[in-house]
Amino acid sequence: MLARALTGTLGSTFAWTRSSAFLPDVSPEAPAVRAGERVTTYAELDRLANAYAVALLERGVGAHSVVPVAMPRSSTLIALMLAMSRVGAATAVIDLAWPAEHLREVL
């Protein structure tokens, strides 16, 4: 099991673990996400997710928070979803093309 720590600019530390039973042990430079021509490595995805997790914590997002997200599929979306998972928040992926009534119900 690999343990890591995320230290936020507020001085807080967030720790998580990765079990090799669920995730393969891959090189940090291996491709993690391919979106169009853009390839994001595991190391880049990890750095992005850490930065977003710190920003979320600074804004008071944490365990039991639900964060609506409306953006196209991309490595940024994956990093945001990973960051929300790291801080204990849930993601509510929404599509702004949905009818207004449906958006109100979801939000």
For residue 58, pLDDT beyond 70: yes
Regarding predicted confidence, which is higher, 105 or 8? 105
- The closest of 32, 10, 28, 106 to 76, measured between CA atoms, is 32
31-56 confidence digits (pLDDT tens): 999 988 999 999 999 999 999 999 99
Q: Any idea where the domains of the chain sit in the sequence? A: 2-106
pLDDT attached to residue 40: 93
Q: How confident is the model at residue 62 (pLDDT cuts 50, 70, 90)?
A: very high
Does the domain at residues 2-106 carry the CATH identifier 3.40.50.980?
A: yes
Residue 107: predicted pLDDT: 80
Per residue, the 3-state secondary structure of 58-106, as one string, reads HCCCCCCCEEEECCCCCHHHHHHHHHHHHHCCEEEECCCCCCHHHHHHH
At residue 11, the pLDDT reads 39
Q: Tell me which long-range contacts 56-60 makes (C-beta under 8 A, separation of at least 24).
A: 56/83, 56/84, 56/87, 56/89, 57/8, 57/10, 57/12, 57/14, 57/87, 58/8, 58/9, 58/10
Look at residue 15 and tell me whether its pLDDT is greater than 50: no
Residue 5 has pLDDT above 60, yes or no: no
What is the percent of the chain with per-residue pLDDT over 90, rounded to a whole number? 54
pLDDT digits 0-9 by tens, 68-91: 999 988 999 999 999 999 999 999
